[in-house]
A and B are shown apart, each in its own frame.
Chain A
Amino acid sequence: MSQQLIDIPEVELMGKGHVACPGCGSTVAMRFVLKALGEETMAVIPACCWTIVDGPTPSSVLKIPVMHTAFETAASAASGLKHGLDARGEKNTTVMAWAGDGGTFDIGFQAISGAAERNEDIIYFTYDNEAYMNTGVQRSSATPEGAWTTTTPTKTPKNKPKKDIVEALAAHHIPYIATASIAFPEDLIAKVKKAKEIRGMKFIHIISPCPPGWKSLPNDSIRLARLAVETKIFPLYEVEDGWKYHITHESKGTPVKEYLKAQGRFNHLTDADIENIQKTMDRKWKMLKMKEKLSLEEMEVLD
């Protein structure tokens, strides 16, 4: 009798009882990712919300092996784990790193850069909630310009743009990079499955609404993850080999105001501020489209 709108695998590798806040985007992200990767997966989790979310020793909410590591070491620990498994002949196990934006954009960046340059056969996920949420909402280099955090209060909100992590990774020419949103489960799962089949370094950037940090309603999490995409703030696309761009969902172009107004961390923004953000996002989208067009043209030349 079921009449699904969304078709995703039934397998469930996340259990009940985790300690994430109500409406946490990163838990939905984890659920979908594990549905795509299946049982034969090991995860490395550095210091981040998920260190806590997974549960205290001797408990873990995930039905796969998880290795907790230090903040800056997700990519290097995952690399080591993969090599160890290889040495034991367990070549089919997927190794994933699962880190927040702090452990990716800031503290773990050196390790990722190294792993990317060595082209390690791991999938690196960053669930991006755009600040150090676990420790009480401090700004990170993933915090968007204009946002409130406890270290960028409303009188002096963040005045630097969000680091473009996808572009930084693309500059490493790794085989596969993708952005994903929990509001588009089919797109997210397809990208993870694709990454699983590719040998070498894969990087997947997932936008992950955080009700306490974003000062949004817990029931709005999926909607915000959808609006981030539809407003072109967080476009869904892939980059292969550092230069083949492919947009996987054509954003509707919903005004950014709709996304910003649903979050308390942007409450202080004036109409002029919002207008500026709109202009920036429109420009970035246009450039992304250009990149997609150029790479398609180049691919034709190669053919």
Chain B
Amino acid sequence: MSDIMDLKNDQTLMAISTGDMSWNKTGSWRYMRPLYENKIPPCTVGCPAHEKIPQYFALVKEKKYKEAWETILPDNPMPGVTGRVCYHPCENVCNRGEYDETIAIHNMERFVADQNLDNHIPEYLVSKEKREEKVAIIGSGPAGLSAAYQLVRQGFKVTVFESANEAGGMLRIGIPSYRLPREILDKEIDDIKRLGVEIRAGITIGKDLPLSNLQKNFDAVLIAVGAYKSWGMQIPGEELKGIRSGLDYLKQYNLQEQATTGKNVVVVGGGNTAIDTARSALRMGAEKVTIVYRRSRAEMPAVPEEIEDAKKEGVQFVFLANPIAFHGNGSVQEVELIKMELGEPDKSGRRRPNPVKGSEYRIEADQVLLAIGEVPDLEFTEGQFKLLHDRLNLDNGQMTSQKGIFACGDAANGPIGTVVDAIATGHRAATAIGQYLRNGKVALNGKMESGVPFDTINLDYFVNEPRPKEQQHHPETLKENFEEVNLGITIEDALNEANRCFSCGTCTYCDNCLIFCPDVAIHLDPVKHEYIIDYDYCKGCGVCVHECPRNAMAFEEELKWNK
């Protein structure tokens, strides 16, 4: 039998092709061009500090917890703090929420931080180039610390002045330890100090040292004093014994480990300070704690989970009521309330509460703690600065009305009231100061644009999975028990959650583009670790773009590229 490949008169028995088709450059057919293009996810936009959430999730998937932590650090030096106390606006805009349940980003941040309790902020995050300019920061709360950290990273010399004996500001004074254990706070402050930030505690600017002294001796000054001055209610009986600000109460306990607590405590307000005050009062021995709030539950600015926990612990709530007078003989005995009803939405978008005529009634109380909002105490500035709504008025570059004096956090106008906003504005202020000291001019980036929309996610690649539940420890008796209540999520839950994340707009190297390419025109470069599209052969069908589960590709007209 003859072999088909045997030659007979220089010819095979039938026509045989032995060449491939690589000569046929089908890329010339293309009129649309696929491209890899990572886009900003909504969570990063929603996070005031703009943490790179899908990026650190990708590292968690590979159990690279240290690298994950180091991915958060450039935007936030205190993920252990924010992973516990942040109100996580990132989750409110998470695309997964439109599919099943939002990703537990808050728990993930804490998980990553908790895996790194023995690690310190690495030196490589600090610029090798050192600068001579000195910056003074007044206040060592989250805003001041964040700014100090970012300035040190840029190579500047930073001194932080703190009136209390220990750094931390509201994190130490306002937030109870059952929410933020002090060893976590100490660890993260210590990490910042290690980078070379000098913290001078026990020095009150305006009392121990005038502001003018800082202006003279430093090239720039940052005011980050927070907001500690309570408004008061300006109603009859407010001077009675047993009535004080909730924040003062927390401060006294947190700094001195004791504060006089009544048996029957009424807390006025609906924010996180009100919840912290109420839950702390229970731990300090109060038998009954009632939160009185003038709007309804839906309008409460406090974190919903905290409200739930307060309920679990036995805090009682009176909604749609507001004190109009306090009664008592020397000490407070009764709070006179008036019922409220909700009217049209006000400037904050929440419905305005209006008193209902003739609905006054009284409840008993032997202590009243007011948590109805605070403003900064700016006496030390001696009225030198322009104010807006009792806070320092800033220009677009975080600068006050005086050249070289900047401000951030709750002391200034802008996003206020939360730890992460303080960290974010501290970062902005540090960027502004850096620009000011280097070029005398400040030009900060505008607002981050909106993230990848939900309808661009290819849902065919995801299945419904539940969000993990954070473990909690609710002690039998709260009295004297300031142990941490929230215990975070398990490693299994964290890994699962990292996989549940859509990773909107951020390539996870899932290979879908490569697998489905009809023209075998995509490969993964093993050295650079990036996908390469072979435009000699890519016909521009767009299958890769469509099958990308997370909108990390773009599809553009070829003409644009041929110009």
Q: Using a CB–CB distance below 8 Å, which chain A residues touch chain B?
A: 1-6, 8, 12, 14-20, 22-25, 27-28, 31, 55, 57-61, 63, 66, 182-183, 185, 211, 217-223, 226
Q: How far is the CB of B210 from chain A (nearest CB, A)?
A: 55
Closest to B29 in A: A22
* A219:B555 contact, CB within 8 angstroms: yes
Contact among B18, B61, B537, B546 for A17, CB-based, below 8 A: B537
Query: What residues on A are CB-neighbors of B519 within 8 Å?
Result: 16, 18, 27
Query: What residues on A are CB-neighbors of B58 within 8 Å?
Result: 1, 3
Contact among B30, B508, B547 for A3, CB-based, below 8 A: B508
Provide the bound-state CA to CA distance between A185 and B540, in Å: 22
* B520:A16 contact, CB within 8 angstroms: yes
Apart from A17-B25, A23-B543, A55-B21, what are 12 other A-B pairs with CB-CB below 8 Å? A2-B509, A2-B511, A3-B61, A4-B511, A5-B461, A5-B512, A6-B512, A15-B22, A59-B19, A63-B20, A219-B542, A223-B547
Sample 15 A-B pairs with CB under 8 A, ordered by A number: A1-B529, A2-B510, A6-B511, A17-B22, A17-B24, A17-B25, A19-B24, A19-B26, A22-B29, A23-B518, A23-B543, A59-B17, A59-B20, A59-B24, A222-B516
Provide the bound-state CA to CA distance between A218 and B26, in Å: 15
B242 at the interface (CB under 8 A from A): no
Q: How far is the CB of A18 from chain B (nearest CB, A)?
A: 6
**Mask for B24-59, Cβ within 8 A of A = 1, else 0?**
111001100000000000000000000000000010
B15 at the interface (CB under 8 A from A): yes
Q: How far is the CB of B336 from chain A (nearest CB, A)?
A: 61
B190 at the interface (CB under 8 A from A): no
Contact among B19, B460, B511 for A60, CB-based, below 8 A: B19
B23 at the interface (CB under 8 A from A): yes
Interface centre among B19, B22, B543, by most chain A C-beta atoms within 10 angstroms, is: B543
* A2:B512 contact, CB within 8 angstroms: no
Query: What residues on A are CB-neighbors of B510 within 8 Å?
Result: 2-6
Q: How far is the CB of A63 from chain B (nearest CB, A)?
A: 8
Closest to A63 in B: B20
Contact among B17, B520, B549 for A57, CB-based, below 8 A: B17
Contact among B24, B545, B549, B555 for A55, CB-based, below 8 A: B24
Q: Which of B492-545 contact A (CB under 8 A)?
A: 508-512, 515-521, 524, 529, 534, 536-537, 539-543, 545
Main secondary structure of the interface of B (DSSP, over half): loop
Q: How far is the CB of B515 from chain A (nearest CB, A)?
A: 6
Provide the bound-state CA to CA distance between A183 and B516, in Å: 8
Provide the bound-state CA to CA distance between A226 and B510, in Å: 18
Provide the bound-state CA to CA distance between A66 and B541, in Å: 26
* B520:A219 contact, CB within 8 angstroms: no
* B542:A23 contact, CB within 8 angstroms: yes
* A218:B20 contact, CB within 8 angstroms: no
Provide the bound-state CA to CA distance between A299 and B97, in Å: 45
Provide the bound-state CA to CA distance between A151 and B438, in Å: 75
Query: What residues on B are CB-neighbors of A16 within 8 Å?
Result: 21-22, 26, 519-521, 534, 536-537
Q: How far is the CB of A17 from chain B (nearest CB, A)?
A: 3
Query: What residues on B are CB-neighbors of A28 within 8 Å?
Result: 516-518, 543
Main secondary structure of the interface of A (DSSP, over half): loop
Provide the bound-state CA to CA distance between A220 and B555, in Å: 14
Q: How far is the CB of A173 from chain B (nearest CB, A)?
A: 34
Provide the bound-state CA to CA distance between A197 and B257, in Å: 75
Contact among A12, A18, A221 for B541, CB-based, below 8 A: A221
Q: How far is the CB of B464 from chain A (nearest CB, A)?
A: 12
* A58:B20 contact, CB within 8 angstroms: no
Q: How far is the CB of A231 from chain B (nearest CB, A)?
A: 13
* A15:B542 contact, CB within 8 angstroms: no
Query: What residues on A are CB-neighbors of B524 within 8 Å?
Result: 2
* B545:A219 contact, CB within 8 angstroms: yes
* A217:B518 contact, CB within 8 angstroms: no
Provide the bound-state CA to CA distance between A63 and B20, in Å: 8
Q: How far is the CB of B425 from chain A (nearest CB, A)?
A: 34
B62 at the interface (CB under 8 A from A): yes
* A22:B21 contact, CB within 8 angstroms: no
Closest to B30 in A: A22
B16 at the interface (CB under 8 A from A): yes
* B520:A31 contact, CB within 8 angstroms: yes
Provide the bound-state CA to CA distance between A222 and B547, in Å: 7
Interface centre among B21, B62, B520, by most chain A C-beta atoms within 10 angstroms, is: B21
Provide the bound-state CA to CA distance between A117 and B543, in Å: 40
Query: What residues on A are CB-neighbors of B539 within 8 Å?
Result: 22-23
Query: What residues on B are CB-neighbors of A15 within 8 Å?
Result: 20-22, 520
